[in-house]
């Protein structure tokens, strides 16, 4: 009995820890403001932005800033791009698509035009980077389509989502 209960607790803990972000969290991250009372969003100020060649093997940090003493930003490599968080690289090509019924593939973005924030829902914390595809969304029906990356700061899973954020 005790072993079964312990196994159930471990299973629930693991599945809760590895669960994909909720739709409310995804939309909040893409827009850099809370769309539900259960989610808090904090904008990350990018007061001083730097570039650093050879930041990591094969990558140049093309957009890097400090947040609470940790490196945050964007890096370019010859074959991939990556998010930087706390000095570690998270390749965009390894992001997990949150497709919402439509296939999505990770996308490069202009980090200077992106909205950088931190989100929290329950015990889960995320680095959020939302963008509207380099300004293409400024007119027409595409203006409400946002893309973004959500880095789960607990388990380090990187997600990619594209959503029409109209309500």
| DSSP conformational letter for 22 | P
Q: Nearest CA to 147 among 33, 29, 22?
A: 29
For the chain, give the mean pLDDT: 85
Name the token pair of 135: 């300004």
Please give the distance of CA 48 from its chain centroid, rounded to a whole number: 21
Backbone phi, psi, residue 54, to 5°: 55, 45
Q: Is the pLDDT of residue 14 over 50?
A: no
Whole-prediction pTM value? 0.83
User: How much is the pLDDT for 91?
Assistant: 97
User: How much is the pLDDT for 16?
Assistant: 43
Give kind and range of the element (H or E) at residue 4. Answer: helix 2-18
């Amino acid at each position: 009995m005790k072993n079964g209960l312990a196994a159930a607790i471990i299973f629930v803990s693991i599945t809760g820890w590895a669960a994909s972000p909720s739709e409310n969290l995804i939309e909040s991250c893409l827009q850099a403001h809370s769309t539900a009372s259960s989610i808090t969003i904090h904008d990350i100020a990018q007061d001083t932005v730097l570039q650093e060649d050879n930041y990591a093997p094969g990558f140049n940090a093309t957009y890097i800033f400090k947040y609470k003493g940790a490196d945050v930003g964007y890096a370019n490599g010859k074959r991939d791009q990556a998010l930087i968080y706390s000095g570690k690289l998270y390749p965009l090509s390894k992001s997990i698509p949150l497709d919402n019924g439509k296939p999505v593939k990770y996308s490069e973005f202009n980090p200077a035009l992106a909205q950088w924030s931190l989100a929290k829902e329950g015990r889960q914390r995320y680095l959020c980077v939302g963008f509207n595809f380099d300004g293409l969304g400024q007119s027409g029906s595409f203006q409400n389509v946002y893309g973004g990356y959500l880095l789960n700061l607990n388990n380090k899973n990187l997600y990619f989502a594209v959503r029409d954020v109209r309500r």
